[in-house]
Amino acid sequence: MPRSLITFKIILLAMMLVVTAIACLGQSTTGTVSMSATVSKFVEINSGGAVTLTGNSGGGVTTDGVANSPLAVSINLGELGPSNPNNFVTASVPLKLRSNAPYVLSMSATVTSSGSTSSRIGPADVGFGLGTISRAGTGVNSPATDTNATSGDPTLPANGSVNATTGRYEFTGVRSNLSSFASATTALNGPIIMNAVPRSNANGLTVPAFFAVKPQFFENGTTTISVTFTVTAP
């Protein structure tokens, strides 16, 4: 075989190897998909359902609670003077809380009365407390221990009595009336409420908030009681 032909073959083979190498180096056989994400702290308060108003004379629920809807209840407690013969006028407002983190439920309240004397209805005359806390249903973190900073149902005998000196009925339990909540004050706190479940899961922690007034010889007038609940994830 002529020497020139051998040389030609060697050059041709070398060129082919180079072309193949370039083709191989340009070929992509792997790829990546990188995703980042966040799970933020989430706390939520909603209505736990319909309000229960008892012991009222006149009055009624003006805007009722609707389960799983924002809490915006409006209630006319009716007559709170001595013409109301009932032991207490009580409103029970169901609350529903949900969180993916430890939570704190605080409350602030104002009581505005048209009266001008010490006999007018004041914050201390409006009993308050949180009732039995329920963590029930699929997806709710249970068992878990929630801390109720109130004394519970303010109408319980242990939570109030007539002042032996003044004769005025007083709610005496710890954080058992609205005077304890002139500024935002913790009413309840606890650990994570919900397990890792979709938001469409409607369960949560439910607790009734009790408000009670003992009908008495209050100074006549009109009274507005305003309460704001706030839940936070500290």
Cβ-based nearer residue to other proteins, 36 or 83: 36
For 99, other C-beta atoms within 10 Å of its C-beta total 23
CB of 39 to other proteins, least distance (A): 4
For 11, other C-beta atoms within 10 Å of its C-beta total 10
CB of 19 to other proteins, least distance (A): 10
Cβ-based nearer residue to other proteins, 121 or 140: 140
CB of 212 to other proteins, least distance (A): 34
Phi then psi for residue 181, to 5 deg, are: -125, 35
Say if residue 191 is preceded by a cis peptide, omega within 30 of 0: no
List residues binding other proteins (CB under 8 A). 5, 8-9, 12-13, 16, 20, 23-24, 27-42, 44, 98-101, 138-139, 141, 192, 194-199, 201, 203, 233
Cβ-based nearer residue to other proteins, 26 or 167: 26
State which H helix or E strand residue 20 sits in. Answer: helix 3-25
Cβ-based nearer residue to other proteins, 146 or 153: 146
Cα-based distances in Å from 227 to 59, 67, 197: 18, 19, 31
The DSSP line for 105-148 is EEEEEEEEES--STTS--GGGEEEEE---EEESTTB--S---EE
CB of 95 to other proteins, least distance (A): 18
Cβ-based nearer residue to other proteins, 6 or 174: 6
CB of 65 to other proteins, least distance (A): 21
